[in-house]
């Protein structure tokens, strides 16, 4: 599996978590008690797996190569598209965390903000993933030199080995599976 195939594969796990997020929000909408531990696990998955692990590879290993080697169109796609959306996603997660703290502190109305920020994050990520899978990654594969793609694959493998030794993939895929059992069945 090359680096881009791995990124596409990771999107599948992230999309599975987006389904969990929507199901957890459905419960909040129906008036069920918020399971703060589950939401903390969701936020942790998003920050450590989707953002640090997955977006980390994109930002540190792929997007910078696209901008430096391809220029123009790649710079617009990356700097004004992909990176802006990564930052917007981070803002939704910070706002989600703040809303959860508000609800936990007794502000019942903040349940709306929990739903709004979590669901907005899912909408953003579904569209974002589609753009990466259908536009950004194929563009990189077509426009980057073979040498650059080989180096990207090598660096991705090293990144993966390091995080595998730290237990990142194993931990967060277990979190995902546990939440899926609870919210999806």
pTM for the predicted model, two decimal places: 0.96
Q: Which domain holds residue 85?
A: 3-183
Mean pLDDT over each residue of the chain, to the nearest integer: 97
Which residue pairs, CB below 8 angstroms and at least 24 apart, start in 8-16?
8/133, 8/137, 10/53, 10/54, 11/54, 11/129, 11/132, 11/133, 13/49, 13/172, 13/173, 13/176, 14/49, 14/50, 14/54, 14/125, 14/129, 15/125, 15/126, 15/129, 16/176, 16/180
pLDDT digits (tens, 9 = 90+) for 61-94: 999 999 999 999 999 999 999 999 999 999 999 9
Where residue 161 sits, what CATH number does that domain have? 1.20.120.520
Number of domains in the chain: 1
Does residue 185 carry a pLDDT above 90? no
The stretch 14-27 carries a mean pLDDT of 98
> Of all residues in the chain, what percent carry a pLDDT higher than 70?
100
């Amino acid at each position: 599996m090359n680096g881009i195939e791995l990124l596409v594969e990771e999107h599948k796990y992230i999309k599975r978590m987006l389904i969990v997020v929507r199901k957890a929000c459905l419960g909040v909408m129906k008036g069920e008690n918020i399971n703060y531990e589950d939401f903390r696990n969701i936020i942790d998955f998003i920050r450590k797996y989707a953002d640090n692990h997955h977006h980390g590879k994109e930002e540190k290993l792929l997007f910078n190569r696209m901008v430096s080697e391809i220029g123009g169109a790649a710079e617009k796609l990356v700097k004004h598209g992909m990176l802006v959306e990564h930052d917007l996603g981070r803002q939704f997660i910070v706002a989600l965390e703040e809303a959860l703290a508000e609800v936990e502190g007794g502000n019942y109305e903040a349940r709306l903000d929990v739903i709004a920020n979590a669901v907005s994050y899912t909408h953003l990520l579904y569209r974002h993933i589609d753009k990466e899978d259908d536009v950004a990654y194929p563009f990189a594969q077509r426009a980057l030199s073979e040498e650059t793609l080989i180096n990207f694959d090598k660096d991705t493998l090293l990144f993966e080995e390091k995080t595998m030794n730290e237990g990142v993939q194993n931990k967060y895929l277990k979190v995902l599976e546990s939440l899926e059992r609870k919210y999806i069945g």
